[in-house]
Copies of this chain bind each other. A is one copy, B any other.
Amino acid sequence: MAAIKGEVTPLLNEEDLKYQIGEAIVVCGSVYKIRRMSSFAFIVLRTGRSLIQCIYSSDYAAFDLENIKENYCVELKGEVSEDNRSKLGFEIRIKEVAILSKPAEEMPVVINNKKLAASLETILDYRPITLRNEKERAVFKLQEGICAAVRGFLMSQAFTEIHSPKIVYAGAEGGANIFRLDYFGREAYLAQSPQFYKQMMVGVYDRVYEIGAVYRAEKHDTSRHLNEYTSIDLEMGYIKDFKEIMEMETKLLQEIMASLERNYKNELNLLEIVLPKVEEIPCVTFAEAKEMIHKAYQREIKDYEDFEPEEERLLCELIKKQYHSEFVFVTHYPTSKRPFYAMEDKENQQYTLSFDLLCRGLEITTGGQRIHDYSEQVDKLLKRKMNPELFESYLMIHKYGIPPHGGLGMGLERLTMCLLGRSNVRETTLFPRDISRLEP
């Protein structure tokens, strides 16, 4: 009988080819670009993470250059040859080629220039192929790096990873912006956040996190909103103060930057990214922030309960000027604007023990301490004219005991947008979903 042994072919690591100068190699990839010179041609091969410069010359190649075209997938046999003009420090002299697959048509968008010369609309319409551009794909390689750093750091801090359901019986964040679906004759919803589940799981593992999809049926079509996004959620028990959550987030951000610098240098260089520095993060209350903006910019305060987007931008500008930080924590948001599970400040119940983190004008995190006492939570639900019976399984944790706890949610795509200095969150979303886009 045939058997499978788990013998995995060692992978070619493009960067290591520089140690194989003079050696024969085999490499697979897609022909990214062919540049014909007078007596030879450059063939740029696109592999999983690199562009490799190869040289075709009839002096050593045993095939006709006419046989290969851009976007063919090929296996090349050749020799590694030192070349300091090439970005990787070497090139490959091609000897043989095997064609593995051919496209049926020419590309409708030019993908092999330094930067894609197309509108965001076109880039998104053709996402499966525009992502093949070296800069476009570098964005999502960095996004992978963010996730890997988050997991590595949180595991080191004894957070347990969970997978909570996305089809739910009740919305956690309230409001009308929730997707409904028919679940075998019952009405069900798509989770707006893993809020209830991560709180439940604090009662099990003390500290938990999840990186998963969340859904908001928001109808406004802005450069910062999506209807489906990836949320980095964490929740931690036995906190003494909600500032512990902000300390954890600050450390997490420091680790993300360090990890990207360490493991994704090529992508950062390619995109010419200067990551924001995270040292101390200044911390102001919501009321102080409103006042600061008002004073610095002689701006009338129109809404005492929430920020206008312009105010978030101005606050970041101000903080950067005064404290040289691209991040700022805003704490103590008004109770009226926070969900029913937010813990109120015992000194002034108009405000919650909550925070947002702003970066470069954009809100990238919402967090805070949660109510853990059963009667406090039931009272707050009743005060908001909400029916505690609808939250019976959630309220089990309060009823049977849960430690003081809090947590945060951070949008992965928004964080990427912010770190990369992009102006539209769709640029940093693999396949964005908005009110007018459901495809690809």
B4 A430 Cβ-Cβ under 8 A:
no
Q: Find chain B residues with CB under 8 A from A217 CB.
A: 184
The answer to whether A382 has its CB under 8 Å from any CB of chain B is no
- Known contacts: A129-B396, A250-B6. The answer to whether A140 contacts B167 by CB under 8 A is no
Interface locus among A295-303, A309-317, A400-408, A418-426 = A400-408
A228 B399 Cβ-Cβ under 8 A:
no
Q: Find chain B residues with CB under 8 A from A184 CB.
A: 217, 219, 435-436
Interface locus among A59-67, A88-96, A113-121, A369-377 = A369-377
A 202-241 contacts with B by CB, 8 A: 203-207, 212-213, 215, 217, 219, 227-228, 230, 237-238
In the bound assembly, the distance between CA atoms of A115 and B402 in angstroms comes to 22
Q: Find chain B residues with CB under 8 A from A163 CB.
A: 143, 213, 230, 412, 430
Q: Find chain B residues with CB under 8 A from A13 CB.
A: 158
How large, as a class, is the contact surface on chain A?
A: 35 or more
A144 B165 Cβ-Cβ under 8 A:
no
Interface locus among A79-87, A277-285, A358-366 = A277-285
The answer to whether A37 has its CB under 8 Å from any CB of chain B is no
A100 B404 Cβ-Cβ under 8 A:
yes
Number of chain copies forming the complex: 2
Question: Closest CB-CB distance, A168 to chain B, in whole Å?
Answer: 8
The answer to whether A101 has its CB under 8 Å from any CB of chain B is yes
B181 A180 Cβ-Cβ under 8 A:
yes
In the bound assembly, the distance between CA atoms of A161 and B230 in angstroms comes to 13
B404 A128 Cβ-Cβ under 8 A:
no
B197 A190 Cβ-Cβ under 8 A:
no
The answer to whether A307 has its CB under 8 Å from any CB of chain B is no
B73 A403 Cβ-Cβ under 8 A:
yes
- The listed residue (B4, B398, B402) touching A243 by CB distance below 8 A is B4
A238 B28 Cβ-Cβ under 8 A:
yes
The answer to whether A333 has its CB under 8 Å from any CB of chain B is no
A101 B403 Cβ-Cβ under 8 A:
yes
A167 B283 Cβ-Cβ under 8 A:
no
The answer to whether A343 has its CB under 8 Å from any CB of chain B is no
Question: Closest CB-CB distance, A252 to chain B, in whole Å?
Answer: 8
Encoded as 1 (CB less than 8 Å from any B CB) or 0, chain A from 270 to 299 comes to 000000001111111000000000000000
In the bound assembly, the distance between CA atoms of A4 and B188 in angstroms comes to 40
What's the dominant secondary structure at chain A's contact region?
mixed
B129 A30 Cβ-Cβ under 8 A:
no
A137 B6 Cβ-Cβ under 8 A:
no
B132 A144 Cβ-Cβ under 8 A:
no
The answer to whether A254 has its CB under 8 Å from any CB of chain B is yes
- The listed residue (B5, B283, B403) touching A250 by CB distance below 8 A is B5
The answer to whether A186 has its CB under 8 Å from any CB of chain B is yes
Question: Closest CB-CB distance, A392 to chain B, in whole Å?
Answer: 8
B213 A401 Cβ-Cβ under 8 A:
no
The answer to whether A104 has its CB under 8 Å from any CB of chain B is yes
- Known contacts: A164-B431, A430-B164. The answer to whether A401 contacts B103 by CB under 8 A is yes
B183 A182 Cβ-Cβ under 8 A:
no
Looking across the interface, which residue of chain B has its beta carbon closest to that of A129?
Answer: B400
Q: Find chain B residues with CB under 8 A from A73 CB.
A: 237-238, 401-404
The answer to whether A72 has its CB under 8 Å from any CB of chain B is yes
B440 A71 Cβ-Cβ under 8 A:
no
B203 A403 Cβ-Cβ under 8 A:
no
In the bound assembly, the distance between CA atoms of A400 and B104 in angstroms comes to 6
- Please list the 5 inter-chain residue pairs (A to B) with the smallest Cβ-Cβ separation, ordered nearest first: A393-B440, A103-B401, A6-B250, A104-B374, A48-B206
